[in-house]
């Protein structure tokens, strides 16, 4: 059984219903309040903490689910840089690593899901020599492999440094206003069209005069 709105939800809803930002000059609808601004009011602090903003965001989302408020995101006028792989879903590359099975829990080949092989022939010997770089080291590793076998398992390669691109990401913040009725939305649409009409007519006239 629902216990109703919590303390933060009640405080947020009361503040939003008071329309603290006034009305829009374009469509006459209430201006939205940011989560940071709501957190300042709810907790009575100048600089709300991340935990306080998170609590307000949760309250706003629950109020939105209950149909009490409308939520959207607005730009805050700041950006940050972020490195992203290019292309975004570039398939990973793999190398194959040769290793002697240790027969213990910490064996990297077994941890990678590869089953140790006890197969030895001239090709395997040549592979060991190529991998370890000398006949003496290859012989030593082959002797170790006779106990528990050897692994040849895939290892993902890191992306090359030049495969990343730096992007400017615009910061937005969750903003909320009271829920509008269908009639209020219709009236807001009409007012917005009336506001835009003179500018649209001026642009059309300028284009016709060319």
CA distance 35 to 177: 11
Output the pLDDT for position 21.
Answer: 85
C-beta separation of 152 from 98 below 8 A: yes
Q: Which two tokens stand for residue 88?
A: 């975004």
Q: What is the pLDDT of residue 112?
A: 87
Q: In degrees to the nearest 10, what's the CA dihedral of 9, 11, 13, 18?
A: -170
For the cut 60, the answer to whether the pLDDT of residue 91 exceeds it is yes
- Tell me what pLDDT residue 73 has: 87
Q: Which of 90-99, 119-128, 201-210 has the highest mean pLDDT?
A: 119-128
For residue 104, what is the enclosing H or E element? none
User: Measuring CA to CA, which residue among 18, 12, 63, 14 is closest to residue 38?
Assistant: 12
Query: Is it true that domain 7-78+172-196 has CATH number 1.10.10.10?
Result: yes
**pLDDT number for residue 1:** 43
Q: What residue spans define the domains of the chain? A: 7-78+172-196, 94-156
Q: What is the mean pLDDT of residues 44-66?
A: 92
Is residue 143 scored above 70 in pLDDT? yes
């Amino acid at each position: 059984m629902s216990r109703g709105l919590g303390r933060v939800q009640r405080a947020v809803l009361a503040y939003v219903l008071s329309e603290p930002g006034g009305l829009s000059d374009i469509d006459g609808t209430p201006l939205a309040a940011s989560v940071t601004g709501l957190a300042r009011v709810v907790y009575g602090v100048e600089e709300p903490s991340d935990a306080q903003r998170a609590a307000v965001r949760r309250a706003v989302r629950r109020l939105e689910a209950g149909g009490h408020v409308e939520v959207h995101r607005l730009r805050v006028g700041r950006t940050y840089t972020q490195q992203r792989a290019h292309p975004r879903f570039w398939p990973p590359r793999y190398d194959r690593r040769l290793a002697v099975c240790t027969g213990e829990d910490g064996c990297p080949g077994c941890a990678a899901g590869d089953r140790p092989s006890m197969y030895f022939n001239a090709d395997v010997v040549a592979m060991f020599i190529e991998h370890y770089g000398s006949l003496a080291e290859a012989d030593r590793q082959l002797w170790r492999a006779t106990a528990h076998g050897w692994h040849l398992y895939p290892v993902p390669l890191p992306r090359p440094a030049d495969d990343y691109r730096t992007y400017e990401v615009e910061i937005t913040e969750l903003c909320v206003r009271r829920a509008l009725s269908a009639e209020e939305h219709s009236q807001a649409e009409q007012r917005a069209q009336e506001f835009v009409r003179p500018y649209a007519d001026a642009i059309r006239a300028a284009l016709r005069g060319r």
